[in-house]
């Protein structure tokens, strides 16, 4: 299948989406992006790796999006890197197929980059999967850190589903990392170590909509933890890696303390936080065990399994 929907004019904003969860999610994501203004100044690059006929359906129903059919074995970081390389705009954004957006999302991203010199700017991730406890627990574990409110200003971490980069800086500083296809935390660490600023802006908001089964999110936490640790371990000295191997099985209490800090400190969804504590604990253990195996034995194919 050939790439479709590409444009010859230069956009002001490129949105890169790794599509791995099937048509239902990417369709609602694109429907939301289609309501943006001014959409004629933006391009949307979809790396479609769901392993079904989603690419064909997107090409037919959303012809304004550039669809790049991809292998179902490609990891999300690899898909993002391919999309960033294809992007034409000076500002490139990465988001995920399970996200939706306010109609001024483009405008707020562009305004932030015109106002601030930072190499990368992130925003909030709010929850719209609110019906079941397992989905609240998933949101708390994965995105609670980026829940509103928080002040605008310098940051050391930005959310993968809501981060935008000045493309020339990203490619100059992180070209080799883009070639490797790494998670955003590695890109952000490189930018920081190179003296480039990171910023959080609470006016830039995406909405998380994914629905998980208990087992699905449990295995996702394990694989995400193992993928994270495999990359980090490969970049660490042997003594540091051995320290991580020994320490990682005991991380889960630290994670729970962090979650408590985010939610109790922000005074939002306290009931949901308390009622999902047992689930949070189980998911935190799954992540810590993933880190242990990642540091000790490498990726083991986990990066291809993160959805």
- Cβ-contact 234, 125 below 8 angstroms: no
- Quote the pLDDT of residue 1: 38
**Residue 152 dihedral angles phi and psi, to the nearest 5°:** -75, 145
Q: Which residues, in sequence order, are bridge partners of residue 166?
A: 91
Q: What b-and-e string marks burial along 114-127, b requiring 16 or more CB atoms within 10 Å of the CB? A: eeeebbbbbbbbbb
pLDDT in tens, the chain (307 residues): 334 444 447 899 999 999 999 999 999 999 999 999 766 689 999 999 998 899 999 999 999 999 999 988 899 999 999 999 999 999 999 999 999 999 999 999 999 999 999 999 999 999 999 999 999 999 999 999 999 999 999 999 999 999 999 999 999 999 999 999 999 999 999 999 999 999 999 999 999 999 999 999 999 999 999 999 999 898 899 999 999 999 999 999 999 999 999 999 999 999 999 999 999 999 999 999 999 999 999 999 999 899 8
- Quote the pLDDT of residue 39: 62
CA angle 173, 175, 190 (to 5 degrees): 40
Where along the chain do the CATH 3.90.550.10 domains lie? 13-208
- Quote the pLDDT of residue 40: 61
Taking the model in full, what pTM does it have? 0.92
- Quote the pLDDT of residue 51: 80
Angle between helices 133-143 and 252-266 (to 10 degrees): 100
The CATH superfamily holding the domain 13-208 is Spore Coat Polysaccharide Biosynthesis Protein SpsA; Chain A (3.90.550.10)
- Cβ-contact 286, 226 below 8 angstroms: no
Q: Which residues, in sequence order, are bridge partners of residue 100?
A: 207
| Nearest residue to 277 (alpha-carbon basis) of 251, 264, 259, 290 | 259
- Quote the pLDDT of residue 73: 85
- Quote the pLDDT of residue 284: 97
3-state secondary structure the chain: CCCECCCCCCCCEEEEEEECCCHHHHHHHHHHHCCCCCHHHEEEEEEECCCCCHHHHHHHHCCCEEEEECCCCCCHHHHHHHHHHHCCCCEEEEEECCEEECCCHHHHHHHHHHHCCCCEEEEEEEECCCCCHHHHHHHHHHHHHHCCCCCCEECCCCCHHHEEEEHHHHHHHHHHHHHHCCCHHHHHHHHHHCCCCEEEEEEEEEEECCCCCHHHHHHHHHHHHHHHHHHHHHCCCHHHHHHHHHHHHHCHHHHHHHHHHHHHHHCCCHHHHHHCHHHHHHHHHHHHHHHHHHHHHCCCCHHHHCC
**Residue 12 dihedral angles phi and psi, to the nearest 5°:** -90, -15
Dist CA 227 CA 232 (whole Å): 9
Strand pairing category for 163-166 and 91-96: antiparallel
């Amino acid at each position: 299948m050939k790439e479709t929907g590409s444009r010859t004019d230069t956009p002001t904003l490129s949105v890169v989406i790794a599509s791995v969860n099937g048509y239902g999610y990417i369709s609602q994501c694109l429907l939301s992006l289609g309501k943006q203004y001014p959409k004629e100044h933006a391009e949307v690059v979809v790396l479609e790796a769901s392993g079904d006929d989603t690419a064909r359906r997107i090409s037919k129903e959303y012809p304004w999006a550039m669809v790049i059919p991809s292998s179902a074995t490609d990891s999300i970081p690899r898909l993002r890197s391919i999309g960033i390389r294809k992007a034409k705009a000076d500002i490139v954004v990465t988001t995920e197929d399970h996200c939706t957006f306010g109609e001024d999302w483009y405008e707020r991203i562009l305004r932030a980059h015109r106002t601030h010199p930072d190499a990368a700017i992130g925003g909030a991730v709010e929850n719209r999967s609110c019906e079941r406890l397992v989905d609240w627990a998933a949101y708390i574990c994965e995105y609670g850190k980026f829940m509103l409110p928080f002040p605008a200003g310098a940051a050391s971490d930005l959310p993968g589903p809501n981060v935008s980069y000045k493309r020339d800086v990203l490619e100059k500083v992180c070209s080799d990392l883009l070639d490797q296809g790494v998670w955003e935390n590695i890109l952000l660490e490189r930018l920081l170590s190179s003296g480039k600023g990171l910023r959080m802006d609470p006016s830039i908001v995406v909405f998380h909509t994914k629905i998980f089964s208990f087992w699905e999110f449990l295995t996702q936490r394990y694989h995400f933890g193992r993928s994270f640790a495999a990359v980090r371990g490969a970049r660490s000295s042997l003594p540091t890696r051995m320290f991580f191997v020994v320490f990682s099985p005991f991380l889960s209490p630290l994670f729970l303390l962090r979650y408590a800090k985010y939610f109790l400190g922000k005074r939002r969804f306290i009931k949901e936080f308390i009622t999902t504590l047992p689930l949070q604990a189980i998911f935190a253990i799954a992540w810590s065990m993933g880190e242990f195996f990642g540091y000790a034995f490498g990726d083991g194919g986990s990066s291809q399994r993160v959805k």
